[in-house]
Amino acid sequence: MADANRIPSDSGDYVRIFDTTLRDGEQSPGATMNVEEKVAVARQLERLNVDIIEAGFAASSPGDFESVQRVCQAVTKPVVLSLSRTREQDVDQSLKSVDKAARPGIHIFIATSEIHLKYKLNMTREDVLDAATWAVARASKHVDHIEFSAEDASRSDWEYMAKVCAEVIRAGAKIINLPDTTGHAIPEEYGAMFAYMREHVPGADKVIWSAHCHNDLGLAVANSLAAIRNGARQIECTINGIGERAGNTSMEEVVMALRTRRDLLGVESRVNTRQIYPASRLLAQVIGQPVPPNKPIVGDNAFAHEAGIHQDGVLKYKLTYEIMKPEEVGIPSNKLVLGKHSGRHAFINRLAELGVDAAAIDLEKAFAEFKALCDKKKVVYDDDILALVSEEFRRLGDQLELVDLEVSSSSKETPQARVTMRVNGAERTEASSGDGIVDATYKAILKIAGINPVLERYSVKAITGGTDALGEVSCMLREDGITVAGHGAHSDIIMASALALVNALNRLRARGRTPQVRASDGP
Ligand code: KIV
Ligand code: ZN
């Protein structure tokens, strides 16, 4: 078994980890993150020691542009890059967004498959070849780290794609990515495509070949490993495998597969695997999407042995049923952490272990909330602490803020709610009745927001066990064709529900759907 403390060799032959949680991962329904949340995740990616962070798609919105810039300021070790189409405006915006990065880069893509050329781009093969070469040549005047992606590579004609790759290499691309954009490939054919390209593309030995897989058939990790076996030395992936549709290659799975089966694969990444579990929990809290218990590596059951025969075997000798050690991926042996006697120092240490930078949050407030929670709950778990802190990131920069909530309900009376919110600094109060307390609360909040979106989903979950547990509420709103998710955590489930709705309304605003609130509107 691999030694948990061993740092993989620094020889040139290692697998670069390109993390796209903040770009492709964010394309996962309901996984939008605000700037502060992206910065918090980026800092954890740096602790993980990923090689490259794809921080966003700068030209797609002012919010994405700002996020890329902020990530560039927040980290120094990894290369930070922005995705870019082959258009002049995209390339220039991307380059501008990373110009303050310690290690800037750009990721230029255009589709090469017939189906995309004909139905999406309405371009000929020559047009695509010219656009790709032009964009890479333009970027190469300003930055060295240039990745080119042949979108829908796995459904492209290999001979044509080889020509495009050769030209972009000549124009200055240093990394060539061959994505399985639709998650359609199976390992043998995906691996064979890398072998073909490495053999037929002039200059192939001068670049790093990269795999980018989607999980529509559940084969993203297997396909990525097949690419590695055929010479790829970069894998594009996301924490918890989040991403467009069924998601991207899961970072924790592919990193641990490389590590656990180095005997067969011969190469490894340079990820600090002990930061995997904190990264997984941090992201789950930030986007409000819990990790399924059976998720490999980071799920609650990933190292749990239920069957008697297995338990017996593990007690006698762990390796009978365990191929990795939980501590190797940073799973704390004792998840019961701090209590009411814990001091600030212990709290800050615990935050660091959980991947949270104390300097990036309002520490006084977080510590006060932690102490208040200790008074309410007998035991405080890691996930409780993460929920408190994520609540903090979530609210930074908000236009709408929940100030007060009063509710009343009995079996004989209609539930009532009275809500006070701060809107751009000014307070407004509204009251409403409803079918239940949550309904009454939501109606009062929406009166203040002045919009009537469709509530597509509402779910409640206890973060840790017990009736005193922190409750986490997630909701999904749709307005004018835009869907956003909101999350809230609180020991009072009605407060958590209100926080989730306010969070979603703030996200709608960030996406350009401004609630019709006017701070001057009186009650
Ligand atoms: O899946 C894909 O093809 C992509 C590209 C933009 C790299 O995400
Ligand atoms: Zn993708």
Return d(Cα 105, Cα 97) in angstroms, integer: 10
Q: For residue 284, count other CB atoms closer than 10 A to its CB.
A: 22
Helix, coil or strand: residue 43: helix
511, two tokens:
């996406």
Partner residues linked to 187 by β-bridges: none
Question: 212 CB under 6 A from ligand 1?
Answer: yes
Question: 367 CB under 6 A from ligand 1?
Answer: no
* Closest ligand 1 atom to Cα of 27: 8
Q: What single-letter amino acid sits at 102?
A: A
Partner residues linked to 486 by β-bridges: 475
Q: For residue 333, count other CB atoms closer than 10 A to its CB.
A: 6
Pocket test of ligand 1: the residue of 27, 82, 149 to mutate, having most ligand atoms within 8 Å of its CB, is: 149
Tell me the average pLDDT across 441-450: 94
Q: Is residue 238's pLDDT more than 50?
A: yes
Q: For residue 287, count other CB atoms closer than 10 A to its CB.
A: 25
Q: What is the pLDDT of residue 522?
A: 31
Q: For residue 418, count other CB atoms closer than 10 A to its CB.
A: 16
Pocket test of ligand 1: the residue of 212, 214, 216, 245 to mutate, having most ligand atoms within 8 Å of its CB, is: 212
Question: 453 CB under 6 A from ligand 1?
Answer: no
Q: What is the pLDDT of residue 3?
A: 45
Q: Is residue 328's pLDDT more than 80?
A: yes
Q: What is the pLDDT of residue 10?
A: 44
Q: Is residue 517's pLDDT more than 60?
A: no
Q: What single-letter amino acid sits at 395?
A: R
Q: Is residue 378's pLDDT more than 90?
A: no
Q: What is the pLDDT of residue 459?
A: 86
For tokens 């996200």, the residue is 507
Q: What is the pLDDT of residue 396?
A: 66
Angle at 13 between CA 11 and CA 16, to 5 degrees: 105
pLDDT tens across 343-355, in order? 888 888 888 777 7
* Closest ligand 1 atom to Cα of 153: 3
From the list 423, 438, 360, the residue with the least C-alpha distance to 392 is 360
Return d(Cα 172, Cα 335) in angstroms, integer: 49
Q: For residue 358, count other CB atoms closer than 10 A to its CB.
A: 17
- What contacts 292, CB < 8 A, 6 or more positions away? 299
pLDDT tens across 52-89, in order? 999 999 999 999 999 999 999 999 999 999 999 999 99
15, two tokens:
């697998």
Q: What is the mean pLDDT of the chain?
A: 89
Question: 181 CB under 6 A from ligand 1?
Answer: yes
From the list 292, 289, 290, the residue with the least C-alpha distance to 476 is 289
In total, the chain counts a number of residues equal to 523
454 CB burial (10 A radius; 0-12, 13-18, 19+): exposed
Tell me the average pLDDT across 98-108: 98
Question: 393 CB under 6 A from ligand 1?
Answer: no
User: What's the pLDDT band for 421 if we cut at 50, 70, 90?
Assistant: very high
Q: What is the pLDDT of residue 285?
A: 84
Q: What is the pLDDT of residue 271?
A: 98
Q: For residue 9, count other CB atoms closer than 10 A to its CB.
A: 11
DSSP 8-class letter at 121? I
Return d(Cα 224, Cα 230) in angstroms, integer: 10
Return d(Cα 123, Cα 502) in angstroms, integer: 44
Q: Is residue 519's pLDDT more than 50?
A: no
From the list 501, 366, 391, the residue with the least C-alpha distance to 447 is 501
Residue nearest to atom 5 of ligand 1 (CA): 151
Half-sphere exposure of 274 (CA within 13 A, CB side): 11
C-alpha of residue 183 to centroid of ligand 2, in Å: 9
User: What's the pLDDT band for 468 if we cut at 50, 70, 90?
Assistant: low
DSSP notation for 313-331: HHHH-GGGT-SS-GGGGT-
Q: What is the pLDDT of residue 137?
A: 98
C-alpha of residue 260 to centroid of ligand 2, in Å: 26
Tell me the average pLDDT across 91-103: 98
Q: What is the pLDDT of residue 335?
A: 55
pLDDT tens across 150-192, in order? 999 999 999 999 999 999 999 999 999 999 999 999 999 999 9
Tell me the average pLDDT across 488-508: 89
13, two tokens:
């032959």
C-alpha of residue 395 to centroid of ligand 1, in Å: 31
Q: CA torsion, points 272, 274, 275, 277, in degrees to nearest 10?
A: 140
Q: What single-letter amino acid sits at 119?
A: Y
Return d(Cα 16, Cα 160) in angstroms, integer: 27
Q: Is residue 474's pLDDT more than 80?
A: yes
Q: Give me Rg for the CA atoms of the chain.
A: 24
Q: Is residue 512's pLDDT more than 70?
A: no
Tell me the average pLDDT across 368-376: 85
